[in-house]
A and B are shown apart, each in its own frame.
Chain A
Amino acid sequence: MALTDSQIERYSRHIILKEVGGKGQQKLLNSKVLIIGAGGLGAPIALYLAAAGIGTIGIADADSVDLSNLQRQVIHFTPDIGKPKVISAKEKIQAINPDVQVRTYQQWVSAANIMELISQYDFVVDGTDNFAAKFLINDACVLAGKPYSHGGILQFVGQTITVLPGESTCYRCIFPTPPPKDAIPTCSQAGVIGVLPGVIGSIQATEAIKFLLGKGKLLAGRMLTYDALEMKFRDVTINRNPNCPICGENPTITQVRDELELLTVCDLEKP
């Protein structure tokens, strides 16, 4: 389908780019991306993917907007307090770009629903805030062969890596098992500088767009870390781990499971 005049104008700064052009923009318009988590990371991811004209955006999050979210979750506004985050996010996405189809999933991802959910998308972006979800997303994407972007933030530091299952380092290649419960404080306990998810989430959205376009060099096999206090980025090459429990030579994980002992997320700890 040819671009309309208004699409030509909306996406003109993309179309001008040699790496995008009209064909690349059409690819984005025909793409489907699932964002898991409509919080700090999910906010810039959703806003930029919407603006970029990703044709279908899925967002999964069971939570509702809380006053304490607004310091960093820039897709939610003060009048949205109490509203389901996926609804608040959908309203902003549609206000930015009516070209985008939004599918909302007002639920936490779990072993029971994640395989079916990710199967409908070309790329998955992890914008969650807890280890249970991060390991679940990695396992599901590796088992399904679904490329995804991992992102994590705490206090002033963040990290991100792009996982191409079977080709590049996965999250469990680096961290075979989750840390013991309570070993790592959550955002609500330890705090997080509000602009941090803006930096990491924007990088994750960039990776999604590059993957869909098939252009550039992805952050695969390299973990990027960012320290906002020191204002330093580090790019650490990490090879695949032959002993990885899910993508190694003798995988012990062959289906998704919930890390029940880890299900303490920031928002469940609120009094």
Chain B
Amino acid sequence: MTTIDLRGVSCPTNFVKAKLALEELETGDRVEILLDDGEAVKNVPRSLKGEGHKLLGLRETAEGHYLLEVEKGEE
């Protein structure tokens, strides 16, 4: 599975970059998105859900970042 590393990218650029990456995929494709703690992990999943993508899981990594698993929704 592809991982999109958005650590160190602030809001809303992290969402914009996640959205652009998902645009390149087909419906049903899955990606992992690496996010910072705080604002990023609070906002990006919510915004992606609002775009119609499926949130499959969110877990904290050993380094204190978050790994969000997303399935691309309908265009």
Contact = CB atoms under 8 A, between A and B. Distances in A.
Interface of A: 3, 8-9, 12, 15-16, 18, 21-23
Interface string B42-60: 0000010001000000000
Interface string B7-50: 00000110111011001000000000000000000000001000
User: Which of B13, B15, B16 gathers the greatest number of chain A CB atoms within 10 Å?
Assistant: B16
User: Which of A12, A18, A23 gathers the greatest number of chain B CB atoms within 10 Å?
Assistant: A12
Contacts, number: 25
Contacts of A22: 19-20, 23
Contacts of A23: 23
Contacts of A9: 13
A36 to B, nearest CB: 34
The 8 closest A-B pairs by CB, nearest first: A22-B20, A12-B16, A22-B23, A15-B16, A8-B16, A21-B23, A23-B23, A16-B16
Main secondary structure of the interface of B (DSSP, over half): helix
B15 A8 contact: no
Interface of B: 12-13, 15-17, 19-20, 23, 47, 51
Nearest to A3: B20
Contact of B13 (A3, A12, A18, A21): A12
Given A3-B20, A15-B20, 19 more contacts: A8-B13, A8-B16, A8-B17, A8-B20, A9-B13, A12-B13, A12-B16, A15-B16, A15-B19, A16-B12, A16-B15, A16-B16, A16-B47, A18-B51, A21-B20, A21-B23, A22-B20, A22-B23, A23-B23
Nearest to B51: A18
Contacts of B12: 12, 16
B27 to A, nearest CB: 14
Contacts of A15: 16, 19-20
Nearest to A12: B16
B19 A16 contact: yes
Contacts of A12: 12-13, 16
A145 B23 CA distance: 32
